Amino acid sequence: MAKREHSKSEQQPPKWPTVEEQLAADKVIPGSALEKLIKDSQDAGMLDPSEAPNDVWRLPLWIRVYFRRQHPEIDFTGPGAGYPLILKEIYTWMLQHQDLPGATLRNASRK
């Protein structure tokens, strides 16, 4: 009997970097508003199983989770579905302004 090949989405979910690895990779300032946002945005279960750290979006786990929490009205079916192109610019801005001036983090910890 032939073995059935499993698609990537049926296999193990992707291994995202630990929160410590994410903080180090983005050179996050300890105690900053960005550090809190990142720590509060680690629910990989919110993502489509086909999303991975090295997919076409090249966005870290935390910004994907944060964006999805901010926009529950968007249908995120499929890999990368629903992410606006400007999200990469927002990510860059957040790294450059880690105190997140003017940002309202009202939904950052919404689960």
Query: For the chain, which residues make up each domain, given as ranges?
Result: 21-96
Say whether pLDDT at 90 is over 90: yes
> Average pLDDT of 92-97?
97
Helices 87-96, 33-40: crossing angle, 10 deg rounding: 130
Per the CB < 8 A criterion, the answer to whether 52 and 12 are in contact is no
CA atoms within 13 A of residue 2's CA, in its CB half-sphere: 3
Cα gap 34→75, rounded to integer Å = 26
Q: Of 97, 30, 25, which Cα lies nearest the Cα of 62?
A: 25
Over the stretch 29-87, which tens digit does the pLDDT of each residue have?
Answer: 999 999 999 999 999 999 988 888 888 888 999 999 999 999 999 888 766 567 899 99
